[in-house]
Structure 1
Amino acid sequence: MTSARPIDLPTLSTLEEEAVALTRELIRIDSVNTGVAETIGDGETRAALFVRERLAEVGIESELVEPRPGRASVVARLRGSDPGRGALVVHAHLDVVPVEGQEWEHDPFGAEVRDGWLYGRGAVDMKNFAGTILAVARHFAREGIVPERDLILAFLADEEAGGVWGAGWLVENRPDLFEGATEALSEVGGFSVPLGDGRRAYLAATGEKGVAWATLTARGRAGHGSRPTTDNPVVRLSQAVAALGAHRFPLVRTEAVQAFLLAFGAARGLAFDDATLEADVEQLGFVSSLVGASLRNTATPTVLFAGGKTNIIPAEASARLDIRVLPGQDDRLRDELRRVVGDDIDVRWGRWWSATEAHVDAPLLGILQSAIDAEDPGALVVPYLLPASTDNKHFARLGIAGYGFVPLRVPDDFDVFGQFHAADERVPVSALEFSARATERILRTA
């Protein structure tokens, strides 16, 4: 057995075809995660059983872990040729977000292929990568290929609701499954975007913003609406929410953001000076919203509660906040938010997952670049900071450095990130085939 031999064309065709076919089969399993336990069925477990069965078909042992009925994950370890190297966790989540309230022209669980596009919930988020990982693992087993390092393949539940019953539960209760792991590879990144000089960039998430929740509460004297008071909590809360909405947290150039700006600045002829940074970012097309959100901490009011009867001034009013915090900024954000909303507003902090940050010059980035070079000569792998969060936040608690890279070559005007949670979520079939080839090379040589 060897890890170095090239793939012959018939095998390559099988790998590509399997990646597409397995992705379609996973999409057809309705594994919607509503975030509300009473409304979640057994879709994640059915998807996990599908994965376990496909692995078993080629002799790969795996462990199915189901901390709650219907909330199963599957983990398998492929032994590498160099056991002294740290293992690589390769993970994808099997749950998807709901489709209710959206206007779909295609069956979200039909996995329909139309005009070269695959439609369905999970086409990019992220049953595409689950199907690809599964296809690569089966390919390795059939062809007797041994990767250079141990690969821990994790197919996870509950990512869309924070990973509490998936990666989070496994990290807390089954860390043995990830023994010896030093790095992880998953979403969100790897998709191509126009670099600006006729080449493509493939974004690699080397860090993620942290995610936190908080509740603002104003309290005062309840009374009749006909007799206004000076401490009306609805008014005071509204003022605090408006102040927070108008507030701009300072610009921060994290290591990942700076690496992105250097690469795109050179290709686009943009200086990205502090004075023009946001205006320059706006010139990047659909990439601008992704990168722009990574420049600052943000605290967004999302839910308001106050009163229950029109003629009664309530004694309390509250607002919920969605907070995204840059690496190393936790304490600074708390202090700054406290100043903005004022001392008479109570701030209660809820769940808090700190940001993750991995090295932008790690050898793994060179492996990603080599894989892309083989498929798209002249393209450039570019680090960036993901303004959202993934299951990498949980693996970071085990000291595992997380990277987001699901290789997809797409048309220059196709916004992959814009497909996340969208109606008629779709991906080019050719991009899935590209992903299978590039992922095989990455996992074989990483």
Structure 2
Amino acid sequence: MATALDDPTAEVTDLLQHLIRNRCVNDGSVASGDEARSVETLRSHLDGTGLDVEVYEPQPGRQSLVARIEGRDPSAPTLTLLGHLDVVPVNEEHWQRDPFGGELVDGEVWGRGAVDMLNLTSSMAVAVRRLAARGWQPDGTLVFAAVADEEAAGTWGARHLADHQLDAVRSDYVLTESGGIPMKSPGGLKLPVMVGEKGCYWCRITVRGTAGHGSQPYRTDNALVKAAEVVRRIAEHRPEAQIGEVWRRYLESMDLPEEATAPLLDPDRIDGRLEELPLGAARLFHACTHQTMSPNIVHGGSKVNTIPDEVTLEVDVRTLPGQDQGAVEAVLLEAVGDLRDDVEIEPAVFDPATESPIDSPLWDTLARVAGRFYEGSANVPMLIAGATDARFFRRLGATAYGFGLFSRNLRYEDYGRMFHGDDERVDVESLRLSTEMWEAVALDLLGGS
């Protein structure tokens, strides 16, 4: 039986490989995911430790697992380690190795979910199992939640638990994906903590025209041609930059010279500065300071010889803290310009941006713990461009951060490239660091013996 003094590398590596091989691919449909496979893997892994384990299944196969170590003091805080079990689809032809093989090659585990986020889910599970196995009795309660459906809005996972099983997951503090990647700065090593995330506004834009015969296209009102112009305008539109408090504190924490940071803190100069940065940094910095709009799907036309009278675009809009639905749609209409009378915008999903306070006991704990692993390092706040399940818990009043702990072998740019990308993999040293970090955070924040 493992103890807190054991090296967890082999255990967490093996568990990650099993979760990858379970192939819990979520394509957005209710019938996909089948996270029950990985719930069974986790139940088997946690068995025999005395943990209180519950499983919730709002749809067949869409299971989430919640395990608890109850605290002795009802007034002490509750911490939830929140992982998800589903992964996004993959084009296997673009991978060097089997994306569901979970192969261990040269100290790295390959497979879909290796960084998003089965690495952290497996390390959380191992950390909680090790704490329970050693007989740890905390003052505050520790919860481990491994949920379904994170990759498709969380409807059958975290959202379901927050709406229908609140007592099982109610927490003061939540840790989930995806910070903790070492970043070099003039002042030393920095570790990003995701204290907030952008909102999501997915919409359908219907572009209308007039039907006609494809053999006589001259001066016709072709909805597809018009839709192409709408796509071009949205893609080229540049919403005004917004300099939020998290962005400001991030830059100020990086110890960069003033001539480097000043343009990035000036809404009138930041776009020009972004043009000069490496592509990976430019994309991240742009996303942290702008509403983004990405037209990604088009539907239209019925027959090759018929001019279409209606085309539908699906657009992924990501919003900044404070932006409401009306403000988002105003920017879209601004982009469309004089074609606005020919389009209809229908929102499909609106999930506003969320943030947690930076000054909190959890922040202090992460700073102390991270300093033990990386001496002289400092945590820096950051806004994540995508969405995580943390938003559901922030809306319930929890302070929720995205964190982890990774080796110096993983560059931030590589980490971002592998998210939903090809040849996803993680080194076993990062798995060990994350596992030991979760244990240390639980002991520091929740106390006990």
Q: CA deviation at 1:17?
A: 3.4
Within a 5 Å distance, the mapping from 1:29-48 to structure 2 comes to 29-38=22-31, 40=32, 42=34, 44-48=35-39
Determine helix, strand or coil for the equivalent of 1:251. Answer: coil
Identify the residue that residue 264 of structure 1 maps to in structure 2. 254
Identify the residue that residue 214 of structure 1 maps to in structure 2. 203
Residues 1:19 and 2:12 are matched in the alignment: yes
CA contact (8 A) 2:81 2:145 kept: yes
Residues 1:247 and 2:237 are matched in the alignment: yes
- CA 89–420 in structure 1, closer or farther in 2 if over 3 Å, else same: same
Opposite residue 417 of structure 2, the aligned amino acid is G
Q: Aligned equivalents of 1:284 and 1:379: distance in 2? A: 24
- CA 172–215 in structure 1, closer or farther in 2 if over 3 Å, else same: same
> How many residues are treated as equivalent by the alignment?
434
Identify the residue that residue 419 of structure 2 maps to in structure 1. 420
Identity of aligned residues (%): 34
Determine helix, strand or coil for the equivalent of 1:402. Answer: strand
Identify the residue that residue 128 of structure 2 maps to in structure 1. 137
Q: Aligned equivalents of 1:378 and 1:165: distance in 2? A: 41
- CA 283–54 in structure 1, closer or farther in 2 if over 3 Å, else same: same
Identify the residue that residue 411 of structure 1 maps to in structure 2. 409
Identify the residue that residue 291 of structure 1 maps to in structure 2. 285
Which ranges of structure 1 fall in alignment gaps of 5 or more residues?
1-8
Q: CA deviation at 1:48?
A: 0.6
Deviation readout 1:97-128 (Å, 9 max, x if unpaired): 12234422222222222222121222111111
Identify the residue that residue 396 of structure 2 maps to in structure 1. 398
Opposite residue 17 of structure 2, the aligned amino acid is R
Q: Aligned equivalents of 2:327 and 2:109: distance in 1? A: 44
Within a 5 Å distance, the mapping from 1:35-434 to structure 2 comes to 35-38=28-31, 40=32, 42=34, 44-179=35-170, 181-197=171-187, 199-225=188-214, 226=216, 228-229=218-219, 231-266=221-256, 270-273=260-263, 274=266, 275-278=268-271, 280=273, 283=277, 286-330=280-324, 331-342=326-337, 343-344=340-341, 345-411=343-409, 413=411, 415-434=414-433
Opposite residue 272 of structure 1, the aligned amino acid is A
Identify the residue that residue 3 of structure 1 maps to in structure 2. none
Q: CA deviation at 1:229?
A: 4.4
Q: Aligned equivalents of 2:68 and 2:3: distance in 1? A: 26
Query: TM-score under structure 1 normalisation?
Result: 0.90
CA contact (8 A) 1:358 1:402 kept: yes
Opposite residue 70 of structure 1, the aligned amino acid is G
Opposite residue 371 of structure 2, the aligned amino acid is D
Q: Aligned equivalents of 1:413 and 1:336: distance in 2? A: 34
Opposite residue 337 of structure 1, the aligned amino acid is L
- CA 265–337 in structure 1, closer or farther in 2 if over 3 Å, else same: farther
Query: TM-score under structure 2 normalisation?
Result: 0.90
Range with bigger deviation, 319-328 or 115-124: 115-124
Range with bigger deviation, 76-85 or 342-351: 76-85
Range with bigger deviation, 15-24 or 382-391: 15-24
Q: Aligned equivalents of 1:366 and 1:444: distance in 2? A: 13
- Root-mean-square deviation (CA, aligned residues, Å) is 2.3
Range with bigger deviation, 331-340 or 115-124: 331-340
- CA 41–209 in structure 1, closer or farther in 2 if over 3 Å, else same: closer
Determine helix, strand or coil for the equivalent of 2:285. Answer: helix
Q: Aligned equivalents of 2:330 and 2:416: distance in 1? A: 32
Q: CA deviation at 1:371?
A: 1.0
CA contact (8 A) 1:148 1:445 kept: no
- CA 156–290 in structure 1, closer or farther in 2 if over 3 Å, else same: same
Opposite residue 237 of structure 1, the aligned amino acid is A
Deviation readout 1:19-40 (Å, 9 max, x if unpaired): 22322222222212122345x2
Q: CA deviation at 1:234?
A: 2.6
